[in-house]
Structure 1
Amino acid sequence: MTAAMGIGFLVAAFGVFLIAKAPSVGKLLLLIGGVLCLFHAFLDTKAHFGRLGHFAELSLQWFSPFLLLFLFSKYYSDHRFHLSIRITIALTFIGHGLYAWGYYPVPGHFQQMMISGFGVTNSQALGMLKVAGFLDFLAAACLFIPVKKWAHAGLYYIIIWGFLTAMARLWSNLELNSMSNLIAFWLSETTVRFVHFLVPLALLFWWKEKNGTLTSDKGPSLIV
């Protein structure tokens, strides 16, 4: 089952490169990839006691293929896409914040990454995670505040923190005498989280390209 899903993901990945040149094939492959990502998110959530916050944390991981499909859809508009991408980013960081804050039991690897990355004690790591959780909530809320500087500040935090939390999987588990474990397990754990900062980064570029005047058939954006 796992191997079959892996093959499905690899095949679906080609949809990203084909969607512009062969739209029908590319869209089909992206749809398959999105459904597989959603199925994996359901399984992972089930393994984490069915916590809705965990499913929310995976939002960018499973919804990104559908966002790309939406870009090539006849239903696309700046307003709809902008709202969809902000909601997806916000859900991801709210879900992450629920764990960091301690609403759900703080994962051991969260603490270990803080200890390894910053050289702090366990109690200090928990305190830092609580602050990070609060900032996750604040940044997610900032995406919906109709003040440009607040929206941008929240997005900058999300990009930086998304990058650091992804790379922390490698950094905190880096052992020169055990590179095979790093590559076999933690490299994939890192790359699957690249969407946590790449999609927000793409949104930032999009904001800058629109020069703060996003408009659509339903009127101007509420944010920029």
Structure 2
Amino acid sequence: MNEVETEIDVQNTSEQSGTDRVLILILRAAAFLCFAGWTWVHYYWEAPYGILLWQDATFEFASEQGVSWDEFIGTGTNDGWLQTWVSRITWLYFAFTIMTVTVRSKSYLQMAALIGGSGLLTVLSYAKYVASQRQLPMFLEHGGQMLAPILLVTALLFGARHRATLVVAMVALVMTFAGHGCYAVGWWPTPGNFYGMISLSLGVQYETANVMLGVFGILDFIVCIAIFLPYVRRWAIWYAVVWGFLTALARPVAGMSMSLNYWGADQYIHEAVLRAPHFLIPLYLAILWRRDLSATPTLAKPIPPSIAPADAVPAASA
């Protein structure tokens, strides 16, 4: 019987190892796509740091470095001191994007760098929070993006199933869905693009979109609570996967058009890409929490005669 148990343990360990690799791959993809999307924003558009940097304190700092006012503000596009330094951040985001692919469990320097990348994402989210007149949900809904690199590092350092990794993932999910829910139910002024995405994607009027947003907002809060309840969290987390994917996809679906240059892909695809953590982090939790039935079919398999115990062999007929 010991040989049977050993075979079962080996098979279960192999299956668990394979699942762990999938979990790491999902977290790696979440961090990679988030950084890749924001790299495009920095390179092609303009990062939202202006609200933080166009201040007297920034000019005073530049003056201390010997930078004149004309050099500070520039004379055209991307030629001022501030614009030049902001554009250079693009290469940091590009480096972080590459690191999400190359980092391994012993790559401590890359892990430290990715934590720094998470800090940059936090600064970026804070800038959007300030630009929104300090509306708390604006900062909260970026939780999945801010924590995606830390989640990958935690999984590599401690393991994909470790409690620390699980806690970071749950915090990221709650922040994202709570932030979105606060806007959807109207506790803070609902952004106009929320109505626009629903109306354009589903072809409904404002009144219907408003009702739908209220329902979706309530479901956001239900998800935030349900993931802490073992008996219902599997259903809630799969809803979070689908809803996170649809809200990310809604940007290009509502915005892209055949009449635009490149069909508008340069304007909207990255909006879905950088929101990948919104559905990949729930997918990580969904796989982690799936009902593990592997032991049942394994035990139910016929025991090979070579290792079957004596009492398992049927007695010879008289």
Q: Same fold (TM over 0.5)?
A: yes
TM-score range relative to shorter protein: 0.7 to 0.9
What is the identity, as a one-letter code, of the residue corresponding to 1:167? Answer: L
Residue 219 of structure 1 corresponds to none
| Shift in Å, 1:196 | 0.4
- Residue 247 of structure 2 aligns to which amino acid in structure 1? T
Alpha carbons of structure 1 residues 62 and 175: separation in structure 2 relative to 1, 3 Å: same
Task: Tell me what 1:129 maps to.
Answer: 213
Structure ID, larger Rg: 2
Residues 36-60 of structure 1: CA deviation (Å, up to 9, x unaligned):
1111111111111112221111000
1:75-115 C-alpha deviation (Å, 9 max, x unpaired): 99722221221121011101001111111111111101111
Given the alignment, which residue of 183, 190, 206 partners 2:288? 206
In structure 2, what is the Cα distance between the partners aligned to 1:142 and 1:117? 28
Single out whichever of 172-181 and 94-103 deviates more from structure 2: 172-181
Q: Report deviation, 1:2.
A: 3.5
Which residue does 1:162 correspond to in 2?
244
Distance in 1 (alpha carbons) for counterparts of 2:288 and 2:161: 14
2:253 maps to which residue?
171
**What aligned pairs does 1:100-111 form with structure 2 within 5 A after superposition?**
100-111=184-195
Deviation (angstroms), 1:181: 6.9
Paired amino acid for 2:270: S
Q: CA 1:117 to 1:16, structure 2 compared with 1: closer, same or farther past 3 Å?
A: same
**Worse-superposed segment, 13-22 or 92-101:** 13-22
**Does the 8 Å CA contact 2:143/2:172 hold for their aligned counterparts?**
yes
| Closer/same/farther in 2, CA of residues 20 and 206 from structure 1, 3 Å limit | same
Which of the numbers 198, 204, 208 marks the counterpart of 1:120? 204
Identity of aligned residues (%): 26
- Cα distance change of structure 1 residues 206 and 179 upon mapping to structure 2, 3 Å threshold: farther
Cα distance in 1 between the residues matched to 2:264 and 2:282:
26
- Is 1:40 the counterpart of 2:40? The answer is no
2: distance between equivalents of 1:26 and 1:209?
Answer: 34
Q: Is the 8 A contact 2:155 2:162 kept in 1?
A: no
Contact 1:89 1:140 in 2 (8 A): yes
Which of 140, 150, 162 aligns to 1:66? It is 150
Moved more, 24-33 or 48-57: 24-33
CA contact (8 A) 1:45 1:51 kept: yes
Once the two structures are superposed, what CA deviation does each residue of 1:110-129 show, in whole Å capped at 9, x if it has no partner? 10111111111111111110
1:138-168 alpha-carbon deviations (Å, 9 max, x no partner)? 1111101132xx1011101110010000000
Q: What is the CA-CA distance between 1:184 and the residue it aligns to?
A: 2.3
CA RMSD, aligned part only? Answer: 2.3
> Match for 1:157: what amino acid?
Y
- Aligned pair in 2 of structure 1 residues 66, 77: CA closer, same or farther (>3 Å)? same
Amino acid aligned to 2:132: H
Contact 2:147 2:168 in 1 (8 A): no
- Distance in 1 separating the partners of 2:293 and 2:164: 18
8 Å CA contact 2:195–2:210 kept in 1: the answer is yes
The count of residues paired between Structure 1 and Structure 2 equals: 211
Q: Which runs of 5+ in 2 are unaligned?
A: 1-84, 295-318
Q: Structure 1 CA distance, aligned partners of 2:275 and 2:96? A: 18
Question: Structure 1 residues 77, 135: CA separation in 2 closer, same or farther (over 3 Å shift)?
Answer: closer
Note if contact 1:14-1:29 (Cα within 8 Å) is conserved in structure 2: no
Q: Which has the higher contact order (CA 8 A, sep 6+)?
A: 2
Q: Does the CA-based 8 Å contact 1:13-1:30 persist in structure 2?
A: no
1:172 match: secondary structure: helix
